[in-house]
């Protein structure tokens, strides 16, 4: 899916890659702070706490976590809720509590080993997810082409920014042809930054300029955050009922985005991360972020891919990225604020190019149309809703519907024997909720022979709907006085039909299959009522 070369990690590569990532995290964290409606330092320190804890204890070495747009969008709802309840001070308290609760939920999902469910995401959904992600990253960069009044920049500032972006991208493309000793993205950021600082006539907008346009101040608080003050909250049911849905949304959105990123990094590195461990680490990170006045976060996919492209493979890269960000804020904020925003945008545009699955255009006519539809729907939904989690959930539901429709058409019934004394049917295929109607249409009790045998040797009853269909068919044959025998049913199927009181002659043979059927512990009568 990606064009990254497989590399073995090294301390040098991890350190330089982490340093590169930390530079890119700054404007992204500030931008996501604006989305959530909070101060810029809230987003930055969220990236520090979430990035450090998940890098040190998470399930995917090399994956970068921090403040993200997906979390910021949901967190904004908690901030607005608190603001309506008691002003800006209360808004931050509502945000911190909702984040802590979200972290608890994520940790509990990790304890219950629910992280493995992400492995069930179909490949077309993953392709749509990747394409939607690339488009979202690209769209996000265009916000830096606007001033504080949301007007597009023009004239010399626009041409200067485009020129510096192209120079940055050129360095990233061509520097590896000369040397691979250092990450090209780091050299591009440093080179463009030094050129803008020392060469007369190069006057590109910096991170500080963007911050001034958005907040009216070009400075960032340079003190370590204090523990969050949660006094004054009324801990009643009204509060919890308002916060809980937001916390659940933060937890699920964060985990879906992080675990899908984990799968992408698995593919790049040809290794396997630990999804349940990642759930625990992310939950712990968001709890810590909430306690220290952060807005939380999850995997930052663009930065994770940047880390991979820069050679970062181990935990050191994420740890260095988080600690470098903290050092920059505490001791070297002027250095960060003077970085040309064009250099960082150029780096992210290169990530967009590497992330988008260009082979999607080659799938037309080569894969089923239903798979192309899933890819397109996931991509469009992701971009339109600006929410990767919603796009993925829609894709999974659509894939399940497509699978149900396809498999329901693959139930075949063949007549093996047809004499006046006996008629033998052979069933082939999967019998479950989507295929029971097609299965039942093959049998006409009133016009059938007196003695009927149905062989399930090449069929599988997959759920309780399949059992119910067999039970209903046996009742139709019984009511018209026909003798029905069933062969090669699993022990579970035989047990359910026996409890249902069906008067069917079921033959038990040495080669009968053995498999579990969904909800086999529910009596047939109870299943009908439910």
226 lies in a domain?
Answer: no
Of 400, 427, 452, the position where a domain reaches its end is: 400
- Check whether residue 285 and residue 158 sit in a common domain: yes
CATH number at residue 421: 3.30.750.24
Q: How many residues does the chain have?
A: 530
Domain with 195, as residue range(s), is 11-221+242-400
Residue 213, pLDDT score = 81
Interatomic CA distance for residues 131 and 135, integer angstroms: 6
232 lies in a domain?
Answer: no
- Check whether residue 359 and residue 304 sit in a common domain: yes
Residue 140, pLDDT score = 81
- Check whether residue 365 and residue 440 sit in a common domain: no
1 lies in a domain?
Answer: no
Interatomic CA distance for residues 276 and 304, integer angstroms: 19
Residue 454 is given by DSSP the state E
If one counts the domains in the chain, the total is: 2
335 lies in a domain?
Answer: yes
Contacts of residue 334, Cβ cutoff 8 Å, sequence gap at least 6: none
Pairing status of strand 451-461 against strand 423-431: parallel
Tell which wins on pLDDT, 74 or 171: 171
- Check whether residue 381 and residue 430 sit in a common domain: no
pLDDT digits over 91-142, tens only?
999 999 999 999 999 999 999 998 887 777 888 888 888 888 788 878 888 8
Contacts of residue 437, Cβ cutoff 8 Å, sequence gap at least 6: 408
228 lies in a domain?
Answer: no
Of 400, 417, 444, the position where a domain reaches its end is: 400
Interatomic CA distance for residues 344 and 426, integer angstroms: 65
Least confident of 5-9, 60-64, 249-253, 373-377: 5-9
- Check whether residue 388 and residue 479 sit in a common domain: no
4 lies in a domain?
Answer: no
Q: Identify the band that residue 518 occupies on the pLDDT scale cut at 50, 70 and 90.
A: low
6 lies in a domain?
Answer: no
Of 400, 428, 446, the position where a domain reaches its end is: 400
103 lies in a domain?
Answer: yes
Two tokens, residue 312: 């970062």
Which stretch of DSSP H or E encloses residue 41?
helix 40-57
- Check whether residue 372 and residue 515 sit in a common domain: no
Q: What is the pTM of this model?
A: 0.72
């Amino acid at each position: 899916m990606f064009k990254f070369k497989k590399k073995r990690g090294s301390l040098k590569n991890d350190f330089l890659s982490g340093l590169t990532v930390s530079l890119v995290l700054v404007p992204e964290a500030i931008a996501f702070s604006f989305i959530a409606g909070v101060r810029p330092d809230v987003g930055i320190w969220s990236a520090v706490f979430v990035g450090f804890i998940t890098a040190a204890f998470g399930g995917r070495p090399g994956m970068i976590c921090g403040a993200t747009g997906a979390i910021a969008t949901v967190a904004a709802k908690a901030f607005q809720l608190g603001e309506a309840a008691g002003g800006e001070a209360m808004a931050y308290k509502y945000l911190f509590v909702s984040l802590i609760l979200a972290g608890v939920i994520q940790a509990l999902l990790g304890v219950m080993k629910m992280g493995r469910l992400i492995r069930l995401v179909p490949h077309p959904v993953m392709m749509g997810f990747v394409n939607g992600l690339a488009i979202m990253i690209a769209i996000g960069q265009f916000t830096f082409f606007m001033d504080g009044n949301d007007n597009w920049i023009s004239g010399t500032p626009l041409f200067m920014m485009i020129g510096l972006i192209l120079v940055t991208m050129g360095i990233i493309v061509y520097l590896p042809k000369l040397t691979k000793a250092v990450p090209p993205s780091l050299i591009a950021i440093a080179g463009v930054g030094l050129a803008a600082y020392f060469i007369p006539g190069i006057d590109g907008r910096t991170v500080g300029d963007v911050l001034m346009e958005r907040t009216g101040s070009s400075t960032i608080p340079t003190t370590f955050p204090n523990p969050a003050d949660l006094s004054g909250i009324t801990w009643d049911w009204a509060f919890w009922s308002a916060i809980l849905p937001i916390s659940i949304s933060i937890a699920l959105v964060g985990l879906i985005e992080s675990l899908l990123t984990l799968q992408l990094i698995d593919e790049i590195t040809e290794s396997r991360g630990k999804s349940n461990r990642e759930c625990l680490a992310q939950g712990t990170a968001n709890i810590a972020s909430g306690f220290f006045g952060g807005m939380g976060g999850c995997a930052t996919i663009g930065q994770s891919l940047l880390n991979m492209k820069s050679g970062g493979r181990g935990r050191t890269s994420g740890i260095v990225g988080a600690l470098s960000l903290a050092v920059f804020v505490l001791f070297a904020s002027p250095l960060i604020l003077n970085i040309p925003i064009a250099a960082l945008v150029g780096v992210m545009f290169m990530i967009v190019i590497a992330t988008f699955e260009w082979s999607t255009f080659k799938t037309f006519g080569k894969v089923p149309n239903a798979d192309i539809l899933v890819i397109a729907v996931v991509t469009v939904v992701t971009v339109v809703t600006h929410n990767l989690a919603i796009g993925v959930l829609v894709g999974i539901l659509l894939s399940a519907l497509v699978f149900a429709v396809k498999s329901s058409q693959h139930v075949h019934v063949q007549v093996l024997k047809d004499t006046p004394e006996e008629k033998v049917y052979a069933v082939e295929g999967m019998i479950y909720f989507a295929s029971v109607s097609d299965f039942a249409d093959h049998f006409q009790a009133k016009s059938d022979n007196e003695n009927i045998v149905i062989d399930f040797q090449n069929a599988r009853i997959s759920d309780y709907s399949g059992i119910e269909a067999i039970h209903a068919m046996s009742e139709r044959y019984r009511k018209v006085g026909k003798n029905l025998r069933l062969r090669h049913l699993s022990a579970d199927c035989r047990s359910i039909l026996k409890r249902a009181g069906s008067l069917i002659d079921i033959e038990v043979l040495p080669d009968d299959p053995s498999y579990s059927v969904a909800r086999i512990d529910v009596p047939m009568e109870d299943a009908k009522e439910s």
